[in-house]
Amino acid sequence: MTRKTLTALLILALSLLTINAAKKNDELHRMGIFISNFTEQGMYEIDINSIGNADLVRFGIAHNVINNPKSTVKKCALPDCEYGPSLMSGSSVAQSVKKYFDLDVNNRTVTGQPEAIYDGDNYHFDARQWKDDTVYYADVQDVRREKGLVHMEGELYNLNRKSDRPAYFTAIARPYKWQGKNTWSILSLSVEWK
């Protein structure tokens, strides 16, 4: 093998390593966005075996208020609707729940704070009550694959102050195809505050 060939092989190997590292970083980043969809709304503990329908409804409403307000939050047409000025279709809620949990939600009124009243087609609520001032995102730092599931670990950070990292988290997700795209459905999430 000549020196030139050796150099060429070395460069090839190095660039493959770089591509692999970039792919890995890209995947960690995508996983971070996935987990942030739960933590951004203050959902820090998830166990797919015991999660309630009302928790799923709340997830779907808050998810769309935070991420898709223009396309999913309408103004309630009832004059002075006693449940608040906002309206969201049950199908928007069901679609978000399916996407992140791979579960079929039953659209039902959720009481307590905040509340959302289901009228058979739409939820009536007050969108201003469904967003927190402090938002924590997830930084996935370690990934382990076991029996077809993905175990993720990392830290939560304050969206407005990235050095503010108040918690560690662990999560388990299942690789899943949603509308033709590779993503994950959540099985568990657990947060430990520092």
Which among 69, 64, 111, 112 is positioned nearest to 91, based on CA atoms?
A: 64
Closest CB 125 distance from Zn ion, rounded Å: 8
Nearest residue (CB) to Zn ion, 63 versus 124 = 124
Order of all β-strands in the sheet with 136-146: 46-47, 181-193, 167-178, 149-158, 136-146
Nearest residue (CB) to Zn ion, 129 versus 170 = 129
Closest CB 87 distance from Zn ion, rounded Å: 6
**How many residues interact with Zn ion (rule CB under 5 A)?**
4
List Cβ neighbours of 122 (8 Å cut-off, separation of 6 or more): 87, 88, 89, 90
The radius of gyration computed from the CA coordinates of the chain, to the nearest angstrom, equals 21
Nearest residue (CB) to Zn ion, 102 versus 115 = 115
Q: Which amino acid is at 117?
A: I
Which among 54, 48, 43 is positioned nearest to 135, based on CA atoms?
A: 43
x-or-dash string of contact with Zn ion, 96-125, rule CB under 5 A:
----------------------------x-
Closest CB 74 distance from Zn ion, rounded Å: 10
Nearest residue (CB) to Zn ion, 39 versus 86 = 86
Could you tell me which residues are beta bridge partners of residue 38?
none
Q: Which residues inside 70-99 make contact with Zn ion, applying CB under 5 A?
A: 76, 78, 81
List residues near Zn ion by CB under 5 A: 76, 78, 81, 124
